[in-house]
Amino acid sequence: MQQSQFHQFSSPAKLNLFLHVVGQRQDGYHELETLFQFIDHCDTLDIRVTQSHSIELLTPIKGVENEDNLIFKAAKILQDKTNCQLGAEIKINKILPMGGGLGGGSSNAATVLMALNILWNCQLSPTELAKLGIYLGADVPIFIHGFSAFAQGIGEQLTAQSPIEYWYLVSKPACSISTAEIFTHKDLARNTPRLGTTEIDIEACHNDCQTLVIKHYPKVANLLSRLLEYAPSRMTGTGACIFTQFNSKDEALLIQSKLPIEVESFVAKGMNESPLLAELEVLRDKTKLFK
């Protein structure tokens, strides 16, 4: 493989179609039940293998030291785990909003782990990569496995699901929300009864974090109230993004046109398989590392 060649990979967003907090463990992590689905709105990562041992992030994020960036951390943890002597140069085209509940950082980390696993010929299985990923964030395993799933535990126990692939209007008011702030808040409900089944009625479920967020973030509360006038709407993750469900792209675009100018938004299609999986299959064929 030529060192000068960059390879490009998708890093998709996810939605939590619902999010129940069913308990809290002694280590501080929360026990969750949630349904993950991907959407076709992605950051892109360009990765080039180098012969040095260094990991270079060529597009640093303002205010975030490279050593604190999940992209760097993912490459480093894989390098250390496999004792890989190669390095990498990584660029990111960031379009997913930060602090939105779309899992952008976790998705970036997963894409790096999966891509470098092939580019460095580490030959770790998806299960092994997911175990590494859990140290970087509870959402990383879903992006590694790459299929829509009902998740339990802290988000790492996955059961494949095939929810309807609706069109979504994803809207973010002019605020960002810290996941840590929400999960450590004293008023967060932590006792939603467990579903006890993987036969899920999404409409009968809810987002426990949404209940807390709309009490403390009026911009989220106001936008959600407005969107509910048009179609089913719910906050994803710990927010601040809200997804509104439609049967067609045109319907979603029409409501997007009615949003206030200060609201960041995009229209995307639900996907039950991450686009990254197909890209990695192409890469495997090109590199002939796995046969």
Count Cβ atoms below 10 Å from residue 184 Cβ, excluding itself: 11
The alpha carbon of 261 is separated from its chain's Cα centroid by a whole number of angstroms, namely 26
In terms of Cα–Cα distance, which of 88, 121, 79, 114 is closest to 291? 121
In contact, 232 and 98? CB cutoff 8 Å: no
Residue 90 near residue 47, CB atoms below 8 Å = yes
Q: What is the CA radius of gyration of the chain?
A: 19
CA pair distance 237, 262, nearest whole angstrom: 22
Question: Which of these is catalytic: 43, 73, 139, 208?
Answer: 139
In angstroms, the CA 148 to CA 146 distance is 7
Q: What angle do CA 230, 231, 236 make, to 5 degrees?
A: 120
DSSP E strands, the chain: 7-24, 30-50, 55-57, 87-93, 149-152, 157-160, 167-172, 233-235, 242-246, 264-271
Contact between 191 and 219 under an 8 Å Cβ cutoff? The reply is no
Q: Is 172 a catalytic residue?
A: no
Pick the catalytic residue from 14, 43, 73, 172.
14
Helix (H), strand (E) at residue 89: strand 87-93
What angle do helix axes 218-228 and 208-216 make, rounded to 10 degrees? 120
Q: Catalytic site residue 139?
A: yes
Report the DSSP beta bridge partners of residue 244.
169, 233
CA distances (Å), 176 to each of 37, 72, 102, in order? 22, 23, 12
Dig out the tokens for 60 from the structure. 């640093």
Residues with a known catalytic role: 14, 139
